[in-house]
Structure 1
Amino acid sequence: MNSPLSAGPTARTVAGPGPYRGTGLPHQASAAALPPPPPWRTYSGGPDLEPPPDDVAETDRRLGAAVRAALNMETAAGETAAVNAALSLRKPLLITGQPGFGRSAVAFRIARELGLGRVLHWTVTGASVLQGALYAAGPAERGTGVRLGPLGTALLPYGRPRVLLIEGLDRGDFDLPIELRAVLRRGGFDIPELAEDGRATVTTDDPGVTAPVPHGAVACHELPVTVITAVRNRIFPAEFLADCLHWEHPAPTVAELTATVRSRAGITDSADPRLLALVAELAEAWSADPHALGQLTVTQALDAVTLAATGPWPPDETPGDVAARLLDLLRRQVPGTP
């Protein structure tokens, strides 16, 4: 007689720490395998579409051509555990923290490491509505005239999940997280404008790519890998938070800032010694000043290095003098702002 515990799907085995390592280094095919989604987050969409295109240029712009491993750069505390839990559970990962600390870069590292193709990117503003991220219907000059947004494209059926970055969800309307939760829980949505067309085709958010959506029904068979960024002080609805995993992105360490700036600015060991010294000065100043630690962003550090590399460098200025002068310029506020 079979035990009730022996019935049903095959049990999920306990594996290693997870496929995501936080290095930014693409895995071999065997190491990039994802755990199957839980049965309660598996949907009926299909057949699978072709694998999505890569966007190497955008990924390199976001992360730099060099990867963390090559720069001996440590992963932020808790990052790998949070990402691997989100991958295993197929739950959205809500990353809070100050802007400029690398929250969005996590999505691009996931895509690059696991070979999941181009990151689908939705930047939320105060005027954002959910339908704009799902699809837009315009004049049928070419094809159906319907174009899927980043969220709509992420909910198409693929052999492997897409990576969806929702940037700045805290800037949207209070009800937007609840609406997002409902669509993700359903695993798809309908396009009423195409309900009568059994051979409907839409343009996706991927450049030059179309997809069939018979009768306007969009359905995935597993949810996208969703990374959501927000500042820490936004109060989200409790039911939305219950459907997410949360990770607070810490401020980068001196070593992380140094490695990130060198990677994204393309500064190698053979670069101008003054630039190498400038990066070190920026990192040291950041470490020594608690106020600077909370205010300096990676983008500001990159801008300072760019100005130093392209602008005049008075012969009597030390790297420390240049760092102070450029950061003062970059932090200077517009008159009348707090």
Structure 2
Amino acid sequence: MSDWLIYRGAGAPHDGIEQLPPPPPWRDFDGGPPVAPPAALDHASERRLGVQRREASYHRPGETERELVNAALYLRRPLLVTGAPGSGKSTLAHSVAYELGLGRVLNWSIVSRSSLRDGLYEYDAIGRLQDLQIARAAQPQPGPGPAEGRPRTPDEPGGGIGRYIRLGPLGTALLPAAKPRVLLVDELDKSDIDLPNDLLNVLEEGEFRIPELERLAGSAPEVPVLSDDGGQVTVRDGRVRCRAFPFIVLTSNGERDFPAPLLRRCIHLNIPTPDKERLADMVRAHFGESAAADYEPLIDRFLDREPGDVRAVDQLLNAIHLTQKAGWADEDEEETRRRLTAELLRPLDRTR
């Protein structure tokens, strides 16, 4: 295997990220000071990679996938991953995080209502106002006489404005970490027409501003806020700027085209429809070493489709799990197994 590969796609953790060369001068960011390392890989990654973490070794990307992942790491550019549903686009982000020891994957699932602000941070202005009103109501009412010595209404109850601000997945990924965070922006093609363009400046500059904190920078230059990881981080002067540009995976099912300025800022990887060998590896990862041979007829049936039919790998995994757990062994149950398998493997684009 070539020595230049940081991510090797072997499914075994290693410290190769320490050998990542410095970024290009135009992608060198100076945010700081560094925040604490993220939490370890969470249950979401374990579900993606297999029931047992050692089984991540079955998720072997092809040569082109490995090379383009490493190109994105070297160049500090987002990776735009396209492919059919269930081809392993999202799993790639979890595989990189696991192998390179980059901690929990930050996940931003895109819907039609998603905006750039959703990914950067949330500000609970209503909650802040309500708490302030409650605190004021709890203060003793001033009586007649001199105002000196009367209790003063609190300006900011409960620890200040920071308790009402929480960084989103993208905002957390842009914190000044010593090592790149892994951010999965899932199904970007589900967004409205504006979001891809709105992302351009943030992806190029590696920073964003929080106006609610910028206005307080003179009196409160450092404000603790919550991150998407659930812990507290400090925002200085109302600005978040990365140090190590995050490894960002933007996934798309190909339902729309993206603007050329976004494509220019990304490395594009198209994952082909899984072949039999790759499907067998996925089945082994979730059901054990012997499962690929035990359920080879189901794998063949999954692959036996008319031109243009769309099937997702989830359908195959569901059919295998149901067959495994239902225990259809009698001849009387064979018809049930056959009928349900046909339903579970029905092409997604075919009506009944």
- TM-score norm. by structure 1 comes to 0.84
Once the 2 structures are TM-superposed, how far is the Cα of residue 326 of structure 1 from its aligned partner?
3.1
Relative to structure 1, the CA distance from residue 327 to residue 116 in structure 2 (aligned partners, 3 Å threshold; closer, same or farther) is: same
CA RMSD across the alignment: 2.7
Pair 1:193-2:208 in alignment: no
Pair 1:256-2:300 in alignment: no
Give the unaligned 5+ runs of structure 1.
1-14, 270-274
Equivalent residue, structure 1, for 2:257: 235
Give the unaligned 5+ runs of structure 2.
132-157
CA distance in 1, matches of 2:5, 2:346: 44
1:267 corresponds to which letter in structure 2? G
**8 Å Cα contact 1:20/1:80 also seen in 2:** yes
In structure 2, which of residues 269, 293, 296 is the aligned counterpart of residue 280 of structure 1?
296
2:107 corresponds to which letter in structure 1? H
Equivalent residue, structure 2, for 1:158: 177
* Deviations 1:26-46, CA, capped at 9 Å, x for gaps: 11x256532222111112210
Pair 1:205-2:219 in alignment: no
Relative to structure 1, the CA distance from residue 22 to residue 30 in structure 2 (aligned partners, 3 Å threshold; closer, same or farther) is: closer
SS at match of 2:295: helix
Counterparts of 1:243-322 in structure 2, within 5 Å, are 243-264=265-286, 266-269=287-290, 278-291=294-307, 294-316=309-331
Once the 2 structures are TM-superposed, how far is the Cα of residue 112 of structure 1 from its aligned partner?
0.6
Relative to structure 1, the CA distance from residue 290 to residue 255 in structure 2 (aligned partners, 3 Å threshold; closer, same or farther) is: farther
Structure number with larger C-alpha Rg: 2
In structure 2, which of residues 105, 120, 123 is the aligned counterpart of residue 137 of structure 1?
123
**8 Å Cα contact 2:311/2:346 also seen in 1:** no
1:103 corresponds to which letter in structure 2? K
Relative to structure 1, the CA distance from residue 317 to residue 49 in structure 2 (aligned partners, 3 Å threshold; closer, same or farther) is: farther
SS at match of 1:166: strand
Moved more, 84-93 or 186-195: 186-195
* Deviations 1:96-153, CA, capped at 9 Å, x for gaps: 1111111001100110111111111101110101101100011346542100000000
**8 Å Cα contact 1:184/1:223 also seen in 2:** no
In structure 2, which of residues 335, 338, 342 is the aligned counterpart of residue 328 of structure 1?
342
**8 Å Cα contact 1:86/1:92 also seen in 2:** yes
Aligned residues: 312
* Deviations 1:313-333, CA, capped at 9 Å, x for gaps: 0422799x7774333222569
1:306 corresponds to which letter in structure 2? H
Relative to structure 1, the CA distance from residue 194 to residue 131 in structure 2 (aligned partners, 3 Å threshold; closer, same or farther) is: same
Identical positions, percent: 39
Equivalent residue, structure 1, for 2:200: 181
SS at match of 1:202: strand
Equivalent residue, structure 1, for 2:247: 225
Pair 1:47-2:33 in alignment: yes
Which structure has more relative contact order (CA 8 Å, sep 6+)? It is 2
CA distance in 2, matches of 1:290, 1:280: 19
Equivalent residue, structure 2, for 1:214: 236
